[in-house]
Amino acid sequence: MAGEKTVETTGLLGWIDRRFPASKLFKEHMSEYYAPKNFNFWYFFGSLALLVLVIQIVTGIFLVMNYKPDGNLAFESVEFIMREVPWGWLIRYMHSTGASMFFVVVYLHMLRGLFYGSYRKPRELVWIFGMAIFLCLMGEAFMGYLLPWGQMSYWGAQVIVNLFSAIPFIGPELSLWIRGDYVVSDATLNRFFAFHVIAIPLVLIGLVVAHIIALHEVGSNNPDGVEIKDGPKDSKGRPIDGIPFHPFYSVHDLVGVAGFLIVFAAIVFFAPEMGGYFLEFNNFIPADSLKTPPHIAPVWYFTPFYSMLRAITADFTWVLAAAAVLGAVAMFLRGNLRGIWRIVVPVILLVVAVLLRVIDAKFWGVVAMGGSVVILFFLPWLDHSPVRSIRYRPTWHKYLYGIFIVTFLVLGYLGTQPPSPVFNLMSQIGTLIYLGFFLLMPVWSRLGTFKPVPERITFSAH
């Protein structure tokens, strides 16, 4: 019967099962975990993210064996790994390429969740755990970016840490505490090394486990957004529209793994710098606190958020203040808020409009950069669409998603370029589109004519 606890009783596996639920865990999360049978290629990226995590941990262990977290020796130790340690160049390039590929697969994994509504009830906690993983990845990447102790590592860390000084009252002390000194120095390198190697990976692994447990508790979403648990079941209580994750999807994912490893190996062996995007050329120059590079920018996966930071100027705060006032008026006159919230929300927006003109624009740049990530946590409550999947939404919703994706990519490119009046204007427009996409989602996600959602998932063998 489904749900019975069958345990091996003979051999080594039987000895283990009597002391540890190995077979039980395998059945619950692999061979007897039923996933929708209409997964497509978008569902490769979750398992690929897990694969890259393993690559990063293994290569990181070997790098730590020869790396020196010392301001006078760090850069030379990286050069020693590249030139003297047997296969050290390969391990280092695998780790640096893995950092960028991690964000490639995670961004695509998040995009799939956005397309198919994988953050909707009952998967809110799955999404929150996933976003917490994303935040940890950003912290891990930032801490690791300093460790080669090259010019861009040093000055990039200096710029980013200095952003915290824009926070009112506690900012200067906070940035000093993060650095451990008045400038990025050996103390900063040591604490970033400790966080990168020990603290954040432990949190990251715990969040990944929680993410998977939460997913398997409520079941996987699918391109149709139909709950297979609520559909018809066979005589043993198993969903007819589901198939066991193992062996079907464990083998299915091997196709994605093979394709990924081909691309990964091609980058590692033929283009590890990727034109200066994966490994910036200035980072092959030792850190020099007396020589500032002509253009300082973070690594590519941070550049969309960096563009939003630079977009907030003193003049642009007038635009944001006007938008806040218009939003307050619209909420009060035509909003769907009821009771006291119809007064409270417009008042909050009016207060924000005033503060935008009172507090320095640098602070609001930090708020825009941080808020562009934090707002993703609230996606389950911002989307009020009657259907989950983009398949059954109005066609113009797809155009909105397309505009959002193009905007994110353009912001990413602008973040790599030196500032200019034209690029700054483009960044400001992109920031308004990015934030407007989410802040206005409670309104636009309900509009339009929605297609009827089938009672069972649509699937054709291939």
Kindly tell me if the per-residue pLDDT of 4 is higher than 70: no
Q: Residue 1 — pLDDT band, cuts 50, 70, 90?
A: very low
Query: Which residue in 276, 313, 314 sits closest to 295, CA to CA?
Result: 276
Sequence ranges of the chain with CATH classification 1.20.810.10: 27-276+283-296, 300-449
Instruction: Give the residue with greater pLDDT, 97 vs 181.
Output: 97
Q: Is 233 helix (H, G, I), strand (E, B) or coil?
A: strand
Q: What pLDDT score was predicted for residue 3?
A: 47
CB atoms within 10 A of CB 275: 9
Q: Do the annotations mark residue 109 as ligand-binding?
A: yes
Per-residue pLDDT reduced to its tens digit, 267-321? 999 999 999 899 998 999 999 988 888 888 889 999 999 999 999 999 999 988 8
Kindly tell me if the per-residue pLDDT of 189 is higher than 90: yes
Average pLDDT, the chain: 91
Q: What pLDDT score was predicted for residue 9?
A: 66
Per-residue pLDDT reduced to its tens digit, 435-446? 999 999 988 999
Q: Residue 2 — pLDDT band, cuts 50, 70, 90?
A: very low
Global model pTM greater than 0.85: yes
Query: Which residue in 386, 350, 372, 389 sits closest to 436, CA to CA?
Result: 372
Q: Residue 336 — pLDDT band, cuts 50, 70, 90?
A: low
Across the range 430-439, mean pLDDT stands at 94
- ∠ CA(387), CA(391), CA(394), 5° rounding? 75
- Architecture of the domain delimited by 27-276+283-296: Up-down Bundle (1.20)
Is the CB of residue 149 less than 8 Å from the CB of residue 287? yes
Q: What pLDDT score was predicted for residue 402?
A: 97
Q: Do the annotations mark residue 29 as ligand-binding?
A: no
Across the range 314-339, mean pLDDT stands at 82
Q: What whole-number distance in Å separates Cα of residue 280 and Cα of residue 275? A: 8
Which residues are within 8 A (CB) of 349 and not within 5 positions of it... i.e. 6 or more apart? Answer: 324, 325, 327, 328, 331
Q: What whole-number distance in Å separates Cα of residue 97 and Cα of residue 103? A: 10
Kindly tell me if the per-residue pLDDT of 19 is higher than 70: yes
- The fold for domain 300-449 equals Cytochrome Bc1 Complex; Chain C (1.20.810)
**Beta bridge partner(s), residue 150:** 286
Q: Do the annotations mark residue 252 as ligand-binding?
A: no
